[in-house]
Structure 1
């Protein structure tokens, strides 16, 4: 069964991710980007989601939202809560999203959701500085970048 991914978030979050994902992986007809702007309400956002769902009736759906508990998350949760053909994740980063989108045809819908969250965790880190790191950039000692 075909899987689609609906990415949504506050402001221009979704279309911002669109530009990044398309730069890294090209356009993908199974990805949809829905911004939640200050002109939107819960109802207008729901209508945007429902239009995509109506056009893709026979597809499984993974909603990807920016933050847990925000309006895009709440609206997607209300829509997906009772459907076995829908999953919802939130707080994922570009690394986790990209990896999962590239693997979506090899994974079940639930595995896709799990992989996106795990991939986001794996691609999140604190950079640990090393002594003399300036030399790694061919910068003479004592000079900043």
Structure 2
């Protein structure tokens, strides 16, 4: 496994490590090294060597550092020289770069391969609004229209009816950091489809969701009836690997009853509101929610209760029993 060392002036490395865990979950073999104002180069080198010692002897090391030419870079560079055939250094550390590095470790075993891959993610993470302030000389291709006909990676529209559902998730936040990075990466999705009547008729929310899609992945918002039609006669999304997002279990039930062939639902978050009980930190239910999940279970749908892929799955039956008991006590 590739060990990752985050190094920075001040507490930046520690802070971005925490931010990365919030999005991608707890990570093994990731160390944060901070260079404080009262420390010198020798202190910094000792911190880096201590961080490296926590990895296995045969682990390759990827340094993600805040600034080229600064003390963290200079000290890491001295250590890198003895391993430059395998280790790598990338500067300009930002959160998109770090999240991409975490995702890349799932499929790449080389520090240098990961380093070459994540540079683009770091650059693409720098965006600006209003968009017309973007420098014209960057050469970036214009983003595709939100309602443009989807294509596969080879530029061809997929065959009707051949869409692959790689993940279907219930998440009241819909498309946010954990979905845009962690779940998209681990599922291999190249299309994110938000299935919601409410969002489809809310132009602002629809626009924000489109803009939240990760680099290289297209996001779409469709009403439930339209998703049912796509599942039955897939003229646009055929050949795609689709990640479906539902805002609540009721929408998921309507889609499945209508013919969307989902055998499992990932349960991520359900926001608390008046009249709901909260049996754990991220899921809140009213009676309709509980009844809906029971209907889904009777239809043979399985539940995978996890915020991020690295979490252990919770038992949905136990969660629903607790929620029902809490609701009964309110009566």
The TM-score normalised by the length of structure 1 is 0.83
User: Which position in structure 2 is the counterpart of 1:74?
Assistant: 74
Cα separation, 1, equivalents of 2:106 and 2:44: 27
User: Which position in structure 1 is the counterpart of 2:39?
Assistant: 40
* Structure 1 unmatched ranges of 5 or more: 138-145
Indicate conservation of the 8 Å contact 1:92/1:116, yes or no. no
Larger relative CO (CA 8 A, sep 6+): 1 or 2?
1
Question: Deviation digits for residues 27-80 of structure 1, max 9, x if unmatched?
Answer: 112211111111221111111111122232221000011011110000001110
Q: CA deviation at 1:118?
A: 1.2
- Which protein has the bigger helix share? 1
Indicate conservation of the 8 Å contact 2:86/2:112, yes or no. no
User: Which position in structure 2 is the counterpart of 1:121?
Assistant: 123
* Structure 2 unmatched ranges of 5 or more: 133-202, 206-331
User: Which position in structure 2 is the counterpart of 1:104?
Assistant: 105
Cα separation, 2, equivalents of 1:68 and 1:121: 15
Cα separation, 1, equivalents of 2:50 and 2:34: 14
Are 1:12 and 2:11 counterparts?
yes
Cα separation, 2, equivalents of 1:15 and 1:92: 12
User: Which position in structure 2 is the counterpart of 1:94?
Assistant: 95
- Higher-Rg structure is 2
SS at match of 2:105: helix
User: Which position in structure 1 is the counterpart of 2:53?
Assistant: 54
Cα separation, 2, equivalents of 1:81 and 1:32: 20
| Superposition RMSD in Å | 1.8
Q: CA deviation at 1:125?
A: 1.6
Question: Deviation digits for residues 86-124 of structure 1, max 9, x if unmatched?
Answer: 111100311121012122131222121112211111221
Indicate conservation of the 8 Å contact 1:36/1:72, yes or no. yes
Task: Give the 3 Å change call, closer, same or farther, for CA 61–129 of structure 1 in structure 2.
Answer: closer
Cα separation, 2, equivalents of 1:58 and 1:99: 23
Indicate conservation of the 8 Å contact 2:24/2:102, yes or no. no
The TM-score normalised by the length of structure 2 is 0.38
